[in-house]
Structure 1
């Protein structure tokens, strides 16, 4: 049912800054959110239907530097559309796990993985109190709220302290922590209806 909903209410299209990846994307958020609400259960915003700036930057960086993850196990935290997970798989990460608490997100990630001919495992769970076993942990656009940042940052730092390569894509969200190592920066095309601008300056950061 969820896969059918994804495919019926979005259209496959190349990601603007990562044209190697095709995603099922929506044109604007409000109408799609209303459709999810019509299913009878209160839903979060459809973050999974858009290629957010942080995810685009992280996906671009992985595809340009496959040596970072080729042959290594990967966790894409709060995967959203699955963009970063798909890029990780295309760059040679194996196995790649896409994690989220939103079942629509994981359905979108599965649909997008299939559309790009890669294998991505999906895990619906709140993993933020655990220590990930993967060798690489990726997170695109996760510092958008204080509540999220307070929980995500300790998880990412635990992962790094246990030897994982931890990379974050972020377009200068309000709760991006200090003390991170900048690995790359990009000017990312985004939907003006979501970001109020057409281009977001976005960085890839390493957490150590």
Structure 2
């Protein structure tokens, strides 16, 4: 049922900023968003149907700098479409775990992985109170609400304190805690104007540190 819904409301298309990867994406994002809201079921918003700026930038960064993940275990937090996880797998990471709490997201990630000829493991769970064993944590566009930021930041800091490489892709969301981050790169990323109100977003790759960065 999940795959049928995904295939019925999306089509396989190249990601604008990462054209070597194709995803099942919604042609009419607002219509799909409204459909999930009106379904009468407890279905989360269809974050999995779009290539968000943070994920696009992070996927681009990983593909352009494969040494960051090559041969290492990776957890893609709040994977959405699976874009970042797929980029990590293509860059040589193994194993790559795509994590989300939305079963539609993980179904989309699996379908997208097959379309791109890579292997992903999926994990449907809230991992923010745990300590995953991956050596690299990737997180695209996760600081979109105050509540999410308050839970994600401690998780990322704990991972960094264990020696994990923690990279975040963020297009300037309001709740990004830059005091805990070091800027690594910045990109101009094409986005869906009907969702973002602009055609491109300046998106930064940040490395998370265990403690606030001073200076």
Q: Do Structure 1 and Structure 2 share a fold, with TM-score over 0.5? A: yes
Report which stretch shifted further, 84-93 or 30-39.
Answer: 30-39
Deviations 1:11-54 (A, max 9, x none): 00000000010000002333213443565412221110000000
Structure 2 match to 1:188: 189
Structure 1 match to 2:208: 207
Structure 2 match to 1:67: 67
CA distance in 1, matches of 2:37, 2:186: 36
CA distance in 2, matches of 1:42, 1:31: 18
Structure 2 residue runs without a partner (length 5+): 210-215
Whether the aligned pair in 2 keeps the contact of 1:89 and 1:119 (CA below 8 Å) is yes
Structure 1 residue runs without a partner (length 5+): none
* Residue correspondences, number: 208
Deviation, structure 1 residue 132:
1.4
CA distance in 1, matches of 2:38, 2:192: 25
Deviations 1:76-134 (A, max 9, x none): 00000100000010001100000000011101100100000000111000000001110
Secondary structure at 1:186's aligned position in 2?
strand
CA distance in 2, matches of 1:169, 1:52: 10
Whether the aligned pair in 2 keeps the contact of 1:50 and 1:81 (CA below 8 Å) is yes
CA distance in 2, matches of 1:207, 1:136: 11
CA distance in 2, matches of 1:38, 1:150: 29
Whether the aligned pair in 2 keeps the contact of 1:18 and 1:59 (CA below 8 Å) is yes
CA distance in 1, matches of 2:36, 2:107: 13
Whether the aligned pair in 2 keeps the contact of 1:28 and 1:193 (CA below 8 Å) is no
Report which stretch shifted further, 35-44 or 2-11.
Answer: 35-44
Whether the aligned pair in 1 keeps the contact of 2:30 and 2:195 (CA below 8 Å) is no
TM-score normalised by length of structure 1: 0.97
Whether the aligned pair in 2 keeps the contact of 1:131 and 1:159 (CA below 8 Å) is yes
Whether the aligned pair in 2 keeps the contact of 1:24 and 1:49 (CA below 8 Å) is yes
CA distance in 1, matches of 2:28, 2:2: 19
TM-score normalised by length of structure 2: 0.94
Secondary structure at 1:60's aligned position in 2?
helix
Structure 1 match to 2:178: 178
Secondary structure at 1:21's aligned position in 2?
strand
Label 1:197 to 1:38 Cα distance change in 2 as closer, same or farther (>3 A).
closer
Please, what is the CA RMSD of the aligned residues?
Answer: 1.1
Matched, 1:93 2:93: yes
Whether the aligned pair in 2 keeps the contact of 1:184 and 1:203 (CA below 8 Å) is yes
